Structure formats: C-alpha cells, structure tokens
Amino acid sequence: MSLRKTHPLISIANNSLYNLPAPSNITNMWNFGSILGLCLILQIITGVFLAMHYSPNIFLAFDCLSHIIRDAPFGWLVRLLHANGASLFFVLMYTHIGRGLFFNRVSIKMTWRIGVLIFLLSILVAFLGYVLPWGQISFWGATVITNLVSAIPYLGTTVVEWVWGGFSVNNSTLIRFFSLHYLMPFIISMLVIIHLIFLHEEKSNNPLGLSNIRDKIFFFPYFSRKDISRAVLILFLFLIISLQYPYLLMDPDNFTPANPIVTPTHIQPEWYFLFAYAILRAIPNKLGGVIMLVISILIMFTRNLKTIKFHFSKISYKTQTFWWFTIIFFILTWLGIKPVERPFVKIRICFTFFYFLWFFF
C-alpha cells in the first residue's frame, strides 16, 4: 500500500499516531522503542508501590526491604519486577541504541540527542536506585562512585561533601538519593514524549537508509499489532526469568546490611555499567579516568552522520564495523568484573582505545 502526497488522509496522518505513515520495510528492530516505553511504565508503577513501604533511613532501609519481601502483599513480586526490570530496561535500551547506530538512526539529529539524554538520566536513576537497599555493595558502590567527583581540581572535595550532605555517605545521602530516584523517572517520561514529538517531526528511518522512501503504510494496524505481539513475548520471558531465576543478576554481597567498617574484596557496579567501569579503571590517573568515563557516554552526542544511500558495499562495511564495536562493548563489560592485575590492565587499555577509535572511523 503506497501513500502518495495526494492521499486525503495525509493531513490527518501527520498529526495522529493512529494513521501515522511508516516505511513498509521496517523490521522487528523498530519495536524496541515502544517496548522501552512499556518497561518505563512498569518501573514507575512498581517503584511507586515500593516507595509506599520504604523508609530512607540508614537504620531502617535494609529492614524495609525485608519487610516488603516477606510481609507486604505480593511485595516480593513487585520488588523482583522492579529490580530485574532495570536490567530489562538496559537490555532494550542498548539494543535500541545499537539499532540506531547500525541503521544510521543518528542522522535524525534531535531525536538522537534527546535519546542520548534519556540514556544518561537512566544511568543516573539506576545508580541512585542501586544505593537504596543499603546493602554492602550499595553503600560501598555509592562511596566509590561519588568519590570520583573529588577528582575535579579545587572544587572536587567540596562538591563531594555537598552531595553526601556530610563527610561520608550517611543518612542525608540516602534521603537525597531516594528523592532524586523517585522524581527523575517522571522527568525521563517527559523527555520520552519530546523524543516521540521529534521522531514524528523528523520521520522514521528504515533499513535501507533512504530519506525519501515513498512506500509507506499506516501505523495501525500493521505495526501496532507487531509492537503488541513483541511486547507480550518479551514481557512473558522477563516474567519467567524473574520468577525462576530472581537473583541471577544481583550481587550476593548486597544481601548483607551495609557495614562502613568492612570493605568488600571486590566492588563492582551492575552489569549494565561494567563497560564504563572498565574504561574508568583503564586509566591509571584518577582525573583522567573520570574524564574518559564521562566522554565514553557523551561521545554519542557527536554521532551526526548523513543518511547513507543504499549500496551493498557500504552496507557490508557498516555491518563489519558495527559488529566489531559490539564485540568491543561485550569485552569491556567482561573486563569490568576483572581485578586490576595482569593481564587485564593492558587488555583494558587496548579495548578502551578501540572503543573510542570506533567513533572516529
């Protein structure tokens, strides 16, 4: 079905998601954006219910978590869905970003930049939420990550103490983290709406990378059915994993109450931060490591490619370079859990170099 400019529904289609004309050749890789929206709604709903039973106090936070799991009606399910939902959210987001890089989605400038901003805020929200259970890894993770700000010349120590609300991670820190963790998902929701507005203004991309494709079909019912079916499948698999392997992606040390006196032998963030953590530890200088850590995320703002016309040689080249980048990303994630010793130190340096080199191809 082809929609020409003379079609009587075009004027309505430009302002309606129901009749939105979309390229007929887009694949299942275009479903992850809508599934991310559902996942964000799931996180907000479960987070609101958890907040009803949570107390941001260093003496009560860990016990509140036990109360939610053991005493609150279906509290164990809500907690598991919220904790594992963060992993699902980042799996979908990394896939969504990867699709954008592979199919040259970055040619749609404002949509891409708002998306990267959503990614940055999602990282911050996930970090703040990881501190709230007030387990051993939560406390020491907060201490290590916030201490990175002290690398800022002259102002670093003052800023860290301002973030902490004292001279160490304490009750004021937990209250601030809880407040921000509760508020920021709603800010992300507003950015998602802005993201969709720019998407409809700049139009959807397609696997061929053609900006003037004329073969378009209505979003409903052709793509809406596809979105719903993929969402049901992914959420069903997510529910099975959450019920059968609920603590697969959680650190065992975090089931121990926070103890400021005893330092864990190996502190590491959640799996979705490991690639950046590996880049941080690849640089021997603290300030240099923090700068490279920030650049590893902000460098995505610099992706401003022109739309590539369909050509088999270019598609083949893009495919090869993209999968090399994917391999580099997974290796950095693996290196993030490895200790700072030989041969992992040199391997981190090499793959950090390859990571940044890919963006300058």
Rounded Cα distance between 109 and 306, Å, is: 10
Helix ranges, the chain (H): 10-13, 32-51, 61-70, 75-102, 109-131, 136-147, 156-164, 171-202, 219-244, 274-282, 286-298, 312-335, 344-359
Residue 284 phi/psi, 5-degree rounding, is -65, -25
Residue 22 phi/psi, 5-degree rounding, is -125, 145
Return the H-helix or E-strand segment holding 302: none
Calculate Rg over the CA atoms of the chain.
22
3-class DSSP assignment, residue 216: strand
Is-catalytic flag, 253? no
CB 135 within 8 A of CB 62: yes
Is-catalytic flag, 227? yes
Identify the active-site residue in 67, 226, 286, 318: 226
Nearest CA-CA partner of 303 in 53, 42, 139, 119 = 119
Is-catalytic flag, 200? yes
| CA angle in degrees (0–180, nearest 5) for 147-151-152 | 120
Rounded Cα distance between 346 and 354, Å, is: 13
Identify the active-site residue in 107, 204, 242, 296: 204
Identify the active-site residue in 107, 122, 181, 227: 227
Is-catalytic flag, 226? yes
Tokens of 12: 């309505």
Rounded Cα distance between 169 and 118, Å, is: 27
356: Cβ contacts below 8 Å, ≥ 6 apart: 295, 296, 299
Identify the active-site residue in 67, 200, 318, 338: 200
From residue 358, alpha-carbon distances to 117, 165, 299, 327 in Å are 21, 40, 11, 12
Rounded Cα distance between 310 and 1, Å, is: 22
Nearest CA-CA partner of 284 in 225, 348, 338 = 348
Q: Which residues are catalytic?
A: 200, 204, 226-227, 270
